[in-house]
């Protein structure tokens, strides 16, 4: 269990979370009979659709303080730029991402959930471990290049990983 399980754990503790848009876009495409929405025939529309949903969700977030994102728009842009990605509207995508960076929408600390050395494939998740590790590398490089601080959350139980995140936040606030 990984990132999404930790996000759910934080949500169950009363924190506001924004779910991963890609999962919903994939489910929607599968429901419409598109067998592999991430495949080369669909991936350009796929990443653009994910970014648009993520953008809408971010604009719906109440100003209630601490919010956890399962994925950010920076993730979506990174996915679009890596070899297995793609986009039809790179300029639009980069403009939207640049606007959230300029507005300091995200905290400057990004939590990276260390992989448990495996990945479970489902109808939604199709990457193998090697692809997943490559994606993680690209994501980390994107965040670092944009000036974000990357904090690794070590392998542990879901509850303890959530505690690691909250402890880091408390420490950064001086609590």
pLDDT in the model for residue 140? 94
Q: CATH number, domain at 156?
A: 3.40.50.300
Distance of alpha carbon 58 from alpha carbon 97, whole angstroms: 12
Task: Please give the average per-residue pLDDT across 134-161, as a whole number.
Answer: 92
C-alpha pair distances (Å), 118 with each of 34, 110, 114, 128, 132: 27, 22, 11, 8, 9
For 32-62, write each residue's pLDDT tens digit: 887 776 666 655 577 788 888 888 888 888 7
Q: Can you give the pTM of this predicted structure? A: 0.81
- The domain tally of the chain equals 1
Residues 6+ apart with CB under 8 A from 146: 74, 101
Q: Structural domain of residue 105, as residue ranges?
A: 3-173
For 68-125, write each residue's pLDDT tens digit: 998 888 888 888 787 656 666 777 778 888 888 888 888 889 999 887 766 666 666 6
């Amino acid at each position: 269990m990984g990132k999404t399980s930790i996000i759910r754990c934080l949500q169950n503790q009363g924190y506001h979370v924004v779910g991963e848009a890609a999962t919903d876009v994939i489910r929607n495409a599968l429901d419409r009979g598109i067998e592999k929405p991430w495949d080369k025939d669909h991936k350009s529309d796929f990443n653009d659709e994910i970014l648009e949903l993520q953008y809408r969700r971010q604009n719906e977030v109440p100003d209630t303080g601490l919010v956890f994102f399962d994925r950010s728009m920076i993730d979506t842009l990174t996915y679009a730029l890596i070899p297995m990605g793609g986009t039809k509207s790179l300029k639009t995508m980069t403009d939207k991402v640049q606007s959230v960076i300029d507005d300091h929408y995200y905290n400057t600390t990004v939590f990276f959930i260390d992989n448990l050395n495996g990945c479970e494939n489902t109808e939604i998740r199709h990457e193998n471990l090697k692809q997943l590790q490559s994606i993680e590398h690209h994501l980390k490089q994107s965040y670092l290049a944009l000036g974000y601080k990357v904090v690794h959350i070590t392998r542990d139980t879901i509850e303890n990983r959530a505690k690691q995140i909250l402890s880091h936040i408390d420490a950064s606030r001086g609590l």
